[in-house]
Amino acid sequence: MTANKILFIVLDGISDRPSPALGGLTPLAAARKPVLDRLAKEGICGIMDTIAAGVRPGSDTAHLALLGYDPYKYYTGRGPLECEGTGIHMEPGMIGFRCNYATISREGIITDRRAGRIHDTAALSMALTEGVDLSGYGVEFAFRSGAGHRAALALRGEGLGHCVSSNDPKKDGVFPLAVKPLKPVAADEKTAVVCNEFIRQSTGILYDHPLNKERVKNGLNPANIVLMRGAGEMGHFEPFSIRYGISGSVISAASLISGIGSALGLTRVPVTGITGSQDSNITGKIAAAITELKTRDFVLVNIKGADESGHDGLAEQKRNFIEKTDTALAPLLDLPDCIIVICADHSTPCTIKDHSADPVPVLIHGDGVRIDDVAGFDEYLCAGGGLNRITGAALLPTALDLINKAHKFGA
């Protein structure tokens, strides 16, 4: 029998280094995780350099690599992918920025770079969309709210460059910076001028917006300035369906990951109660993935919480989240007709609170895999598995071969 579908479960940042808080084990090795262990036992395992040995991946470059899009060729910065993540359709050549709402004082000093962790900014983003006018520069723009205080800005127009600095001083108590061209090039100079004009007009609109007046009255920090960074020019992505001849969907709370999915033409599947954090509705994600597989050939699910614990340096919390995730993965044990791939996108060691280049564990489960001797899913056991040490670029082709969708090279 040959399976017809592929399910990628990316356990974001789940991979780790030995933790003193867990008696020298990694959170994954310390966790009770019968489902992952059984899938590993019934499948083939290995370790993986998502991009290359010694390269510390971002989640964005890692996911591009896992989907078979060489990040060195396709990655043009986080901004355009964040724009896609908020629902802005980016066309090649558009300039995208990741933004956040922040608070400035009457004197113009930044007092809170997250605007009191404001939640619902849709009305503010709508006011900017309607109120800001960049037509004098021949530029159209789209501005959309993301999760929490986050947002994204996209510019479209002739002669715009993407090599510009941020207006974010990265600390409170100082004035915002002017956006500047990083090179003395007319296109970058034009973008910088347009960005500064956007900031000038938007601050005027936000400062007097009723929602902000209400926030001030309630003792909350108003969201009265937009900070922008991560400028990038949208590249051309060959659609996933054309590249591989299969249809696909993405399920993720992280807008960056769903943005990558959108950029590749994957369908975004909304799930209620997903947060990208410890309290996320993982059960709902897995249920949605199983439903989606009825009509799609490929589904990617990103589960983010372990990465967050890694960044916070909380090894016990990370172990507990892994145990919660494992329980939610139980329906995968009886999933018919599917190659299940489970991996991390990178390590996020609690001891360094950031991504590292340590290879990540990976397992492939389903009809046709050559089952190896690995009896559990963690960084140590998987290192002895039949996949050996692979790169992220090899993962999807390996899965495609298992569903007989790999191209034959030669006669």
Instruction: Return residues touching Zn ion (CB under 5 A).
Output: 12-13, 59, 307, 345
How far from chain centre, in Å, is Cα 10? 11
Q: Which is nearer to Zn ion, 128 or 360 (CB)?
A: 360
CA distance 231 to 44: 40
Q: How far is CA 169 from CA 206, 312, 340, in A?
A: 20, 23, 44
- DSSP run (H or E) holding 300: strand 298-303
Q: Which is nearer to Zn ion, 60 or 112 (CB)?
A: 60
| Residue 76: other Cβ atoms inside 10 A | 18
Query: Closest distance between Zn ion and the C-beta of residue 267, in Å?
Result: 21
Q: Which is nearer to Zn ion, 233 or 308 (CB)?
A: 308
Q: Which is nearer to Zn ion, 13 or 85 (CB)?
A: 13
| Residue 18: other Cβ atoms inside 10 A | 17
Query: Closest distance between Zn ion and the C-beta of residue 150, in Å?
Result: 15
Query: Closest distance between Zn ion and the C-beta of residue 55, in Å?
Result: 14
Query: Closest distance between Zn ion and the C-beta of residue 393, in Å?
Result: 17
Query: Closest distance between Zn ion and the C-beta of residue 391, in Å?
Result: 17
Q: Which is nearer to Zn ion, 13 or 361 (CB)?
A: 13
| Residue 239: other Cβ atoms inside 10 A | 12
Two tokens at 259?
């943005």
| Residue 242: other Cβ atoms inside 10 A | 8
| Whether 127 contacts 151, CB under 8 Å | no
Q: Which is nearer to Zn ion, 82 or 297 (CB)?
A: 82
CA distance 36 to 116: 39
Query: Closest distance between Zn ion and the C-beta of residue 380, in Å?
Result: 21
Query: Closest distance between Zn ion and the C-beta of residue 312, in Å?
Result: 11
Q: Which is nearer to Zn ion, 58 or 93 (CB)?
A: 58
Q: Which is nearer to Zn ion, 64 or 151 (CB)?
A: 64
CA distance 306 to 313: 10
Q: Which is nearer to Zn ion, 50 or 100 (CB)?
A: 50
CA distance 373 to 367: 17
Helix axes of 186-207 and 122-131: crossing angle, nearest 10 degrees: 120
Query: Closest distance between Zn ion and the C-beta of residue 147, in Å?
Result: 15
Query: Closest distance between Zn ion and the C-beta of residue 373, in Å?
Result: 29
Amino acid in the structure at residue 38:
R
Q: Which residues fall within 8 angstroms of residue 109, CB to CB, at 6 or more apart?
A: 173, 174, 175
Q: Which is nearer to Zn ion, 13 or 161 (CB)?
A: 13
Helix %, strand %, coil % of the chain (to 5): 35, 20, 45
Query: Closest distance between Zn ion and the C-beta of residue 61, in Å?
Result: 10
Backbone phi, then psi, for 123, in 5-degree steps?
A: -65, -35
Two tokens at 246?
């299969």
CA distance 12 to 22: 20
Helix spans in 331-391 (H): 379-382
The closest residue (CB) to Zn ion is: 59
